[in-house]
Amino acid sequence: MSEEAGAGATLEPTEAPPAGDASTPATLIAALRSPTPIFSRPEFPPRDPTRMADEAAQAIVVGSLRMGARVAVKRTAPKSGGCAEGWFELVEGGWVCGRFATLDLESKELQNAPHPPYDDRPLPYDYGLNLTNGTPMYRRPPLRRERAIYEKGLLATRPEDRAAAAKEVASEKGETPWYLADSPQRASVTLDDLKGESALVLERMMRGFYVALDQEVHAFAGKFWRTTRGAYIPFDHVLVHQSKTEFEGVWVGRQDEPRKLPLGFVLRPGAREYRVPAPGERPRREDKVARFTIVPLTGQHALYEERAYYETADGWWLRDLDGTTTRPGPPPADLAPGEKWIDVNLTTQTLVAFEGDKPVFATLVSTGRHDDADASKDHRTPEGSFRIREKHVSTTMDDDSATDGPYSIQDVPWVMYFNKGYALHGAFWHSQFGHEHSHGCINMTPHDARELFHWVGPTLPAGWHAVRATAANPGTRVLVHP
């Protein structure tokens, strides 16, 4: 949608009703685009970033809304700072230009707004896995003849049919599209290659891409999925992700939670409980223990033939090959009393959240894969002390710099950026928690990511889709260490 969408008459200055006046309903606005930026002042930031030396004296983006989101308005202000439509001051803080929002909650411009993110589920949206190289994302539901053109050969299963489609498309375009080639090399395809070839096709997808789904759409030309970004995808090309929670982290700080640090996490399928009869004697293998079992440890460990065994509070021992344990580092020297901070141990692939020196939450993570022999495959997570810079209920992550080719995941859930493009976030597309697996981010189960997202700063105001840390709303500290 154009940034001009929703432009209306100049707003007249208004004030919100007195605090505590429940007889007057709050004035609401609805966001008209994704994202709808929220500014710190009723003006746009300067286009030249070098002029942003003094953020306190200039407007900055402090958050955003997603199309259709409704938020309460404190007052309105007339044209200023480059917004000819006037400004809305939000009750939760920040300003939205009237160009990007409307007081008409039934506006036809909102008819294709996605549903609000789910906040009572591990995932904020439903997700679909693209099954076919070259699946088109349409800007609108296509006609039948348009589908025949843009989906030619995509569902062909016989090699001769696929070859015939490739030849036909090549004769029309002058070349064979990458997605109809005999054996397209994923690593040779770039995100630029995926850009749509017409005004109707927004982009093409590779097999393995994920999209966030808003709703089914039944059109004259067939059934489609409409994504949360407003694109339309042929229904048969998408496999809906079946969400399940394989394990949940432990709120060790709660009084009713008997499990406390240190904790052990079983990672290996087919792992066994062990009994250690006496120092130096061979441990005895006993009952099987399920993967992702979480057990409190006594702190005692034993060594046998260069293998470590950790005693659980239940009396059996966890072998180091079968799992991992929490081993957080010391708190920061300048930590304020009760201050929240997060410890990420790259060796044990565990995360522990603290309030001061008190651990409150512990879970497994998957950090970046490292490769000392090949720099192109080295995606290790950076070590150091950071702070959460910004939080997003969801945001798209894509890249084509990896040696294994491009990837794209729409609306990655519960994203907490702490250093450049590195973030803590939920991952629903794998279950390798406790092992290195990512391209550098710190992956968690969607359940745990959601739990942490609502615990860490900066605080996300109601209705906002993203928030940026400020001096008044600071981000939680994150320590990443070996």
Q: How many CB atoms lie within 10 A of CB 38?
A: 28
* Domain boundary, last residue among 110, 140, 166: 110
Residue 377 falls inside a structural domain: yes
Residue 364: give its domain's CATH number. Answer: 2.40.440.10
- Is there a single domain that holds both residue 321 and residue 202? no
Residue 15 falls inside a structural domain: no
Percent of the chain beyond pLDDT 90?
76
Q: Would the pLDDT of 378 be above 80?
A: yes
* pTM assigned to the model: 0.92
- Residue 292 has, within 13 A of its CA and on its CB side, a CA count of 13
Q: What is residue 52's predicted lDDT score, i.e. its pLDDT?
A: 55
Q: By C-alpha distance, which of 325, 382, 368, 328 is closest to 348?
A: 325
Instruction: Tell me the β-bridge partners of 211.
Output: 128
- Is there a single domain that holds both residue 472 and residue 365? yes
* Domain boundary, last residue among 86, 110, 134: 110
pLDDT in tens, 380-403: 999 999 999 999 999 999 987 666
Tell me the C-alpha distance between 361 and 368, whole Å: 22
Tell me the C-alpha distance between 133 and 345, whole Å: 38
Q: What is residue 14's predicted lDDT score, i.e. its pLDDT?
A: 56
- Is there a single domain that holds both residue 93 and residue 152? no
- Is there a single domain that holds both residue 170 and residue 86? no
Beta carbons of 377 and 371 less than 8 angstroms apart: yes
Domain count along the chain: 4
Instruction: Write the single-letter amino acid at 7.
Output: A
Residue 53: give its domain's CATH number. Answer: 2.30.30
Three-state helix/strand/coil letters over the chain: CCCCCCCCCCCCCCCCCCCCCCCCCCEEEEECCCCEEEECCCCCCCCCHHHCCCHHHCCCEEEEECCCCEEEEEEEECCECCECCCEEEECCCCEEEHHHEECCCCCHHHCCCCCCCCCCCCCCCEEEEECCCCEEEECCCCCHHHHHHHCCCCCCCCHHHHHHHHHHHHHHHCCCCHHHCCCCCHHHCCCHHHECCCCCEEEEECCCCEEEEEEEEEECCEEEEEECCCCEEEHHHEEECCCCCCCCCECCCCCCCCCCCCEEEECCCCCEEEECCCCCCCCEEEEECCCCCEEEEEEEEEEECCEEEEEECCCCEEEHHHEEECCCCCCCCCCCCCCEEEEEECCCCEEEEEECCEEEEEEECECECCCCCCHHHCCCCCCEEEECCEEEEEEEEEECCCCCCCEEEEEEEEEEEEECCEEEEECCCCCCCCCCCECCCEEECHHHHHHHHHHCCCCCCCCCCEEECCCCCCCCEEEEEC
**By mean pLDDT, which of 136-145, 163-172, 405-414, 465-474 is the weakest?**
163-172
Residue 9 falls inside a structural domain: no
- Is there a single domain that holds both residue 141 and residue 232? yes
Q: What is the mean pLDDT of residues 212-221?
A: 97
Residue 248 falls inside a structural domain: no
- Is there a single domain that holds both residue 53 and residue 81? yes
CA angle 153, 157, 160 (to 5 degrees): 75
Q: Would the pLDDT of 376 be above 90?
A: no
Task: Tell me whether the omega of the peptide bond preceding residue 330 falls within 30 degrees of 0, making it cis.
Answer: no
- Residue 471 has, within 13 A of its CA and on its CB side, a CA count of 4
Beta carbons of 327 and 350 less than 8 angstroms apart: yes
Tell me the C-alpha distance between 152 and 176, whole Å: 12
Confidence of residue 166 (pLDDT cuts 50, 70, 90): confident
Confidence of residue 17 (pLDDT cuts 50, 70, 90): very low
Confidence of residue 163 (pLDDT cuts 50, 70, 90): confident
- Is there a single domain that holds both residue 229 and residue 287? no
Tell me the C-alpha distance between 351 and 366, whole Å: 10
Instruction: Tell me the β-bridge partners of 204.
Output: 136
Query: In terms of C-beta density within 10 A (0-12 exposed, 13-18 middle, 19 or more buried), how is residue 205 classed?
Result: buried
- Is there a single domain that holds both residue 469 and residue 357? yes
Q: What is residue 159's predicted lDDT score, i.e. its pLDDT?
A: 73
Residue 408 falls inside a structural domain: yes
Domain around 179: 126-240
Residue 254 falls inside a structural domain: no
What are the residues whose beta carbons fall under 8 Å from the beta carbon of 258, sequence distance 6 or more? 296
pLDDT in tens, 300-352: 999 999 999 999 999 999 999 999 999 999 999 999 999 999 999 999 999 99
- Is there a single domain that holds both residue 379 and residue 457? yes
Instruction: Write the single-letter amino acid at 404.
Output: D
Residue 383 falls inside a structural domain: yes
Beta carbons of 439 and 379 less than 8 angstroms apart: yes
- Is there a single domain that holds both residue 183 and residue 268? no
Q: How many CB atoms lie within 10 A of CB 76?
A: 22
Considering the chain, what is the average pLDDT of its residues? 90
Confidence of residue 51 (pLDDT cuts 50, 70, 90): low
Residue 450 falls inside a structural domain: yes
- Is there a single domain that holds both residue 92 and residue 39? yes
Residue 111 vs residues 11, 33, 105: alpha-carbon distances, Å: 24, 12, 10
Tell me the C-alpha distance between 341 and 476, whole Å: 6
- Is there a single domain that holds both residue 236 and residue 269? no
